[in-house]
Structures are given as structure tokens and as C-alpha cells.
Chain A
Amino acid sequence: MLTALNNDLKPFEDLITKFSREELKPHVEVHDRYPFGDLDVDVIEAGFNKIYDLGFLGIMLPEKYTGIGQGISTLCMMLGHVAEVDASYSLIIFTSALSQEIILSAQADSIAERIYPKAKDAKEYLVAFPSFTDPGQSKTLPEASPSGKGYTLTGKLDYLVLGSFSKWAVIPARISSNRGYSFFLVNLNDRGVTKSEPIFSLGLHACPIIDISLNNVSARIIGEEGEGERYFETASKIMHAAAASINAGIIRGSLREAMDYTKEREQGGRPVINWSEVRMILANMAIKAKVAELCVTQTCRAIEENLKDWGMISIATALHVHDLACEVVTDGVQLLGGNGYMKDYGQEKRYRDARQVQALLGLAPLKKLVLIKEIVG
């Protein structure tokens, strides 16, 4: 995110940079061991509460719901800086923002009122969401049945981000009488909710993900019946830019570590950085880093200025930046040689995290098909 193009972001940037450097950096390796290792769940939760106290979990949420009412530029800038140090925390912030965007898209005031102003801590404020799922692509979603004033949900939902931590979740489910799907607010402490052990995934380890089973769980509908796809589309359009900003941050981190290392390490009696092929790889990484930054910055501008086709721009940016990130992090490991493959350095984590980020909001090839469908009409 090029903050030079937007001076308003500077105070937030200073805050998030300081937080990432002081609060996240010292613990990256330990947090990455989750769900294994001696890491106390309390330590993770304390981290979540810190980002809650600093207001990072409600960046785009209107002030009337106790958010800080900023735009996508602020969110992307923050996600990028956090990702530069530990992208797991970017996923937490991303998921919080995504569930909020679903609620806002549905204009579900009563739901927002019920959650955010009453929340006492991160557990109550952070709303779990299946951030890697485009529900429209899912063959199996829980079934929703009307029950009294509300609904009950039954069935399975996989890969629910923050499901083991949060009190609330936004869950997509199908009502048998509707063609599409709808979103529901579910209390994850309900007795009918069964949670799996934390899923061991490729990357972003410090952000817990689980599968859940629902058995007649009470739920409140978010917005209208059968309108889930429309809400998701609206929310995901804007959140694609946010996903791109996470990978842009990972790219920056990878480039920085590669530069630092190749200046220090020697090969053939001189610093590795002085060999021309190494410089060529670094140059390619730097070009991709710049392009990624520019894409994210201009996409945010397009969104905030409500430019025609901003939704397509956002998806295109995400697809492109994710591709760039997967290439950069692979080179980033390579430039550190054997050390890059070891957990003592940050590059192997970025190699994993970038690919995990690429899968946010659904299958990448299907996003391409959606994009071309929108373009072609």
C-alpha cells in the first residue's frame, strides 16, 4: 500500500508498524507452531485481545457499531504491514472485516447492534467466517429450517476461520424452499455445535481454523432469505483488495529478508548480492513488489472513488497479486539457500502463507471465470 499517495493513512501506519514490530515479531516462530507445541491458547487469545483493544478488528465498521469507520485503504495498509511480519494476524483482521461486510451488505442493523456494541472482548467481537469458501461453490452447506421467530441449522461446515475462538459465526446455509443460500448468525457456544480439533494447514498457523457440525442450532437470519450470494458478492468484491494487500505485504517481507541475507552471506569470497544472477532474481522480486503495491493502492482508490467496474478491478488485482506473491516467496526461499528452508528464518513461512492467502474467498480459477463472465456479459 503506497501511503505516500494518501497522507491520511500515516498515523495508522505508524501505529500498525509499531505494533507489528513490538508485539508480533518476537513471537512469530512460536505462534507458527500452533496447533502444536507448548503455545498456550491464552497467549494466542491475549494477542487477539490486543488487536481488539487497538481497534484493528473494526477498521471499516461504522462508528455507530463501535468501529473506526475507515475505508478500504486503511484496512489494506494495515493488513499489508501486519502480513509483512506475520500474515496469520492479517487473516484474523481480514476475517473480522469480511464477516462485518456480509452483515453490512445485508443491512442487518439488528445483527450488528447485537454483536459489536455489546462485545466485551475479542472473543465476542471477532465473528468467525469461512473465509476460504465461496458458499456458492460449495456443494454441501448446512440446511436451515424456520423455527419460531428464527431458524435452526443442521449439517456440516468445513474450514471455519476462528471457529474455535469466537462466540459468533456468520454461517452460510440453504433453506430448502429457496434456490440460493442465506447467511445466519450462530452462537458457537450453542450445545448443538460440535467443533473439530484445530486443522493443521499449510500456512497462517496462528489463526485457528476448524470444521463444525450443527445439530438443530438456533440461528438468526442475516438480511433476506436466499440473498446470500448477493451479499457475498458485494462483500467479497471489496475484500479481494484486502486479500491482495495481505500478499503484497508478504511480498515486501520476503524481499526485505532476501536483501538483508544476500548482503550478509558470502559465496565465492564475496557477498552473494554481488553476483549478477542473484541481483536479477532480486530485481524481479522488487518489480513484483512494486507492481503489487501499485495494484493494491490503485484498487483501493478505485473502490473509494466508486469507479465504474471497481469490483472487477478488485478481483483482477487479487488474482494477479496472489500469482506474484507465490512466485516471489519461492524465490525468497531460494535466495537464502538451505537457510531459507529452515524455520529459523521467515522465508519458509511466507512460502506457505502466500499460498494459503491465495485460496481466500474461493477457488482461484473459478474467480477468473467469474471475472471473464462479468467482462463478456
Chain B
Amino acid sequence: MLKRSKVKSYTKKFPRFENESLSLYYAPRMPKAMIKETEEAVALARKFNDEVARPLSLELDRKTHEDPDYLPVELVKKANEWGFYTMWIPKLFGGKGFNLPSISYFLEEVGSVCVGIANVIGVHYLGMAACMMLSNTRIIKRVMNDVVEGEKTGEPCLISYCITEPTAGTDVEEVDLEAKGRLGCHARKVPGGYILNGSKIFISNGHFSTWNVVYAYTDLKKGADTKVALMVKRGMKGFSLGTHENKMGQRVCPASVLNFEDCFVPDELVAMDPDIIKSYTKKTPRNVNMQHIDYVFSISRAGVGAFGVGVARGAFETAMKYANETEIDGKPMVTYEWVQCRLAEMYANVRLGRLAYTEANLANQHRGAYNILQMKPIYYYLKYLPVSYFKKVIAPLLDKPIATWILSKWYIDWQKPDDQHLTTGLASLAKFSCTDLGVRNCQMALELMGKAGLRHDSGAEKIIRDAKLLQIYEGTNQLNRINLFKSIVAPACPKATFFEE
């Protein structure tokens, strides 16, 4: 047999075995309490589905068709009452501190009933992720405090991530495209802050959110190198909400237009700009920009993967229910082999998708954004110390520049390029695979159900409308394929270039 050194040498060769088999390496390292926590999140989602999502899903969808201007504010309030907007805020910042990978399982559960409702909850955490990955602890503390307060007062405080522009969608998710794209959101440096002008579109939850993480550019021709990240609060002068889009599906979650007209954003709400980056690292602003995008999307794309598995499950469960209740030629539909094979394939798609987003989560846990929180000592320290301790001892430190400096160094300089590539690549893999499987299951469900699946009250037709958006947002599935290739496959293709064909 081989000596240990030889084993190591072979397994480290490309493709590195550890990178290809994260479950094998990292599942045993997971703090055991995470499993119970995840079970609790799943149980809570199932209870919410029974009591809120299932009874409301079709009714709210129908309402949005009857009145396209209707915004289901009461749904957001319900989610707030259930504590969903603080569940995954770390205790350090006043939240309930559930482990972050558990949100995927939660979103899958809610998404299996209504992915639009899951998005109303999940996209808030996209905003949170964007805010946190900017690493300004003072800003994070302030925004998260507002969210926690919003839960106490019953007035939900949500966060939106605002990057898409009328003439730039995919371009803002990849620095090589951002450098050449037709950008329109301009930030001009003035004493004491920035003046923001331009529009953002397709902003999920825009009409519900209090805080917005907004990307803008000091030079629209050099977007990749001049990006600034600003925190814009509802009510600030010069910021207004436009319409919300008339979408095919996921209609309970508004896709909003945000307009900025000479909106002054003070320095205290500037989370990132090229000067701030220079004060923490020798990396170029463009590289840090890409790293930030990768951090955020590595988290959110795993979440969209969970949405994809949610719709795959929703379609599977709807089709199975129909097959159980229907007869063909006097025999239950489920007795036919062709039906059994299709239901088996749909179930397999659900399980395969879950494996994909689980791998993406493991990458985030051990090689990406969650790393710091998932180290066993830190995990247990955060889990078992009382909130009052964090409030009294830790919270005051978060306002100090040193806290921001440590977190920025940690996220910007600590992560190795190999880790960045692995996390972003696997998140892309999960995103496009799970959402493609989701749409595939919806199609299979409709074929199995025929006219019964076409009726709104069957639920099946809504799922296929909802599902399609998953292949588009958080980067189109084409961009995600390219990102996977660029991040993980490309080392085997040294001649490959990107976005230069």
C-alpha cells in the first residue's frame, strides 16, 4: 500500500480530493449542536407552513393578480412576529444566532409551499450578508439593532441588496463585465459623504425594506475599480421608491425600483470605497470588489439553490398528491410503472439538489464567509453565552475602528484564493443545478397532471411560474456556469480566458 506522504501527494493533485469531497472532510468537524439547531429551524418552517404559508400562498398570489399594486405587508408582519428576520443574525449583533447553513433547510421547507414567501424572508438575509461582508462593525451593529428593534415593536425592519440597474444586470455581478458595462448609479465624493444619483431595479423586497445596501460608482466608465457601497435608509432625502414590477411569479415578493436623486449619504453610512479598502489591504479595489461579490453570492446562491430544491419538492409533492388521488382506467395512477418512475425521478432531483447546496454550505462553513462563526470554540461561545453578555461586553467594542479593522483583515486578507474559488464555484454549481432541477420537476408535474395542473387552485401552475425566476436572479444560470468553470474547472484549462471572447 502507499505511504501516507504518497497518499497526501496524490490527493492534493488537481482536482484536489478534499475540494471535491467536502462532506467527507467537513461533516465530522461540524459542532453537534448545529444539527439540533437545524432541526429546530426545519420544525419551525413546517409549523409556519401549516399555519401561515399554506393557507395564504394561493390567496395572496391571486390577490396580486387582481390588483397588481397590492403589497402583502401583512405577510411581512407575520414573518416578523415569528421572529424570522432576526433568527440568523449572530448573537454578537443581537440576533438569535441560528447557524447560518440552517437557513438553507428552512428556506427549502418554506419554498416547498411558496417560494415567493420564502424569498420575502430569505432575501432579507441577502441584505444582511452584503452588509456584514462589508465588515464595518459599527454599521453592522446599527443596522442589525434596527432589525432587532423592529421585531420588538412589530414594525419589520428589512434589508435589501441593491445592485441591478436598468442597463446593467449581469454586469454588476462580475468585475470583468462591470469594467465595461453601461452603469448608471453614480456616487460623487463631497465633504462629509457622497451624493448618490441613479436608479436600481428588480430590488427584491424593496418596498418592504428599511435599509438598503447600494452599490454605486465614482466613475461610471471604471465601475470595477471605483465602486462604493452605501447604506441608504428609507426616508433619507433624495431617495424614493418607484413602481414594483408586474412579474410572472413570486408575486408576493415585490421587485422594486429605487430612485436616488442627489441623495446625500454621510460618511458614517459609507461601508466601503476605494480609500477605505486601501487602509486595510494591499489588494486592489477591483480584487476586493470581486472578493466581496463572491462572499455575498457564495452565501446567497446556496440559498437560491435551496429555493430551487424547495420548488422541486413542491412540484414533486403536488404531483404525488395528484397521482395518489387519481385513477386511470379504473386503477390508481400510482400503480403504473411510468408514474412511479417519474415520481422517483422527481424525488431524486430533490435529493440531488439538496446535496449540491449542502456542499456549497460546507464550503462557506470551512473555507468561506461562515468560517469564523463555525469554528467550534467560537460557535459554542456565541451559542451559550447570554445575550446580555454580548450587549454589555462586546457591543461597545463594535463601535471601535479596531473591530472593523480586524473583521476587514479577516475577510479580505485571510481568505486564500483557492478558498475563494472553491466557495464561489460550488455556490454557482448549487444555484444553477438546483434551480434547473426545480424547473425540470415543475415541467414533469404539469405533464403528469395535464389540465388539472393548469388551474390556479391546483398549485402546480403557480410553482412553475415562481420557479422560472430562480434561473435568472442571483446571476443568470449561464453566468453561474461560467463562474463555476472560471473558479474550479479553469486550472485544468490554462489557455482559458474569461469575458474576452
Contact = CB atoms under 8 A, between A and B. Distances in A.
A337 B476 contact: yes
Nearest to A338: B202
Contacts of B62: 200
A202 B454 contact: yes
A42 interface: no
Contacts of B455: 159, 199-201
Given A337-B472, A338-B169, A338-B472, A268 B181 contact: yes
Contacts of B478: 277-278, 281, 334
B248 interface: yes
Nearest to A268: B177
B247 A352 contact: no
Interface stretch (B138-146, B189-197, B301-309, B439-447): B439-447
Contacts of B246: 342-344
B80 interface: no
A319 B169 CA distance: 36
A341 B454 contact: no
B169 A337 contact: yes
Contact of A267 (B170, B326, B454, B464): B170
Interface string B452-482: 0111110001001100110111001110011
B487 interface: no
Contacts, number: 131
Nearest to A203: B454
A132 interface: yes
A340 B472 contact: yes
Contacts of B464: 202, 355
Contacts of B450: 132, 359, 362-364
B499 interface: yes
Interface string B317-346: 000000000111000000000100010000
B327 A326 contact: no
A189 B499 CA distance: 64
B454 A201 contact: yes
A268 B500 CA distance: 9
Interface residues of A, number: 47
Contact of A200 (B65, B453, B468): B65
Contacts of B473: 338
A334 B171 CA distance: 16
Given A338-B169, A358-B447, A365-B338, A200 B328 contact: no
Contacts of B202: 338
Contacts of A276: 501
A341 B471 CA distance: 10
A356 to B, nearest CB: 6
Nearest to B443: A326
Given A201-B455, A338-B169, A267 B468 contact: no
Interface string B153-183: 0000000000010010111000011001110
Contacts of B468: 330, 333, 341, 348, 351
A269 interface: yes
Interface in B386-441: 439
A330 B439 contact: yes
Ranked 4 nearest A-B pairs via Cβ? A269-B180, A202-B461, A132-B451, A348-B248
Interface of A: 33, 36, 132-133, 137, 139, 158-159, 199-203, 266-270, 275-278, 281, 326, 330, 333-334, 337-338, 340-344, 348, 351-352, 355-356, 358-359, 362-366, 369
Interface of B: 62, 65-66, 164, 167, 169-171, 176-177, 180-182, 201-202, 245-249, 255, 326-328, 338, 342, 439, 443, 446-448, 450-451, 453-457, 461, 464-465, 468-469, 471-473, 476-478, 481-482, 499, 501
Given A334-B476, A338-B164, 11 more contacts: A201-B454, A269-B181, A277-B481, A281-B478, A337-B476, A338-B201, A342-B246, A343-B248, A351-B468, A355-B446, A364-B450
20 contacts: A33-B65, A139-B327, A159-B454, A200-B62, A200-B457, A202-B453, A202-B461, A267-B181, A268-B176, A269-B181, A276-B501, A330-B439, A330-B471, A338-B169, A338-B255, A352-B461, A358-B447, A359-B451, A365-B338, A365-B447
